[in-house]
Homo-oligomer: A and B are copies of this chain.
Amino acid sequence: MTRSEENYIKTIYHLGDAGMHSVPTNAIASQLKTQPSSVTDMIKKLSDKKYVHYKKYRGVYLSEKGINAALTIIRKHRLWEVFLAEKLGFNWDEVHDVAEQLEHIKSEKLIDKLDAFLNFPKYDPHGDPIPGKNGELAQRSLQLLSSLQPNDEGICVGVKDSSVTFLKFLDKHNISLGDHIKILDAEEFDESLTIQIDNKNLHISKRIATNLFIKPVRE
């Protein structure tokens, strides 16, 4: 597989939610910052090589073979992210670009040894699960904000209660999906939390904390 093929497959995997559904040409193009016509070209090639199923004008979705290929690349990407963050001291926002390059290094032995060196981590520094050698994927470790301890960190990935009132509350306090949250303090009395979000501190009630899904950062 060429580097470019790998990038397309990874993109299709992500955009199609792990190969669940098909992905339109334009989505791939804008993600990879290429022209739609280039995507069509590559899709044909990937289809010839049986990595994707393709019907003209109907988008693509990954085949079994394509999903496995994607998982292999993602495994490499996330292992390198752990290495960069944990061993070399990169910040968790700096790891991505370099991992994007490292994920294309071809050596199974290298990845296995790296995996062992890092002590077989299950999650990358963003909290995303690292696929195993055989493609098995740990459950994404979703937790409620209320279950975290002081000093734990995570990313806001969803809400349990999606009522308008709750969402308005989040909006008012500038809490949005993808925000990085750190627990500063937990009040035993009412189980309220002091959290740091966007470099600002915020005190939230138990009620709020039990309705926010968090993806813990660094397992």
Query: Please, which residues of chain B bring their CB within 8 A of the CB of A98?
Result: 105, 107, 109-110
Smallest beta-carbon distance A86→chain B, Å: 11
Q: Is the CB of A113 within 8 A of B89?
A: yes
A-side binding surface: helix, strand, loop or mixed?
Answer: helix
User: Is A184 part of the contact surface with B, judged by Cβ < 8 Å?
Assistant: no
User: Is A200 part of the contact surface with B, judged by Cβ < 8 Å?
Assistant: no
Q: Is the CB of A88 within 8 A of B101?
A: no
Within 8 A of B (CB), among A62-90: 84, 87-90
20 contacts between A and B (CB under 8 A): A84-B110, A87-B117, A88-B110, A88-B113, A88-B114, A88-B117, A89-B113, A90-B109, A90-B113, A94-B109, A97-B107, A98-B105, A98-B107, A98-B109, A98-B110, A101-B105, A101-B106, A101-B107, A102-B102, A102-B105
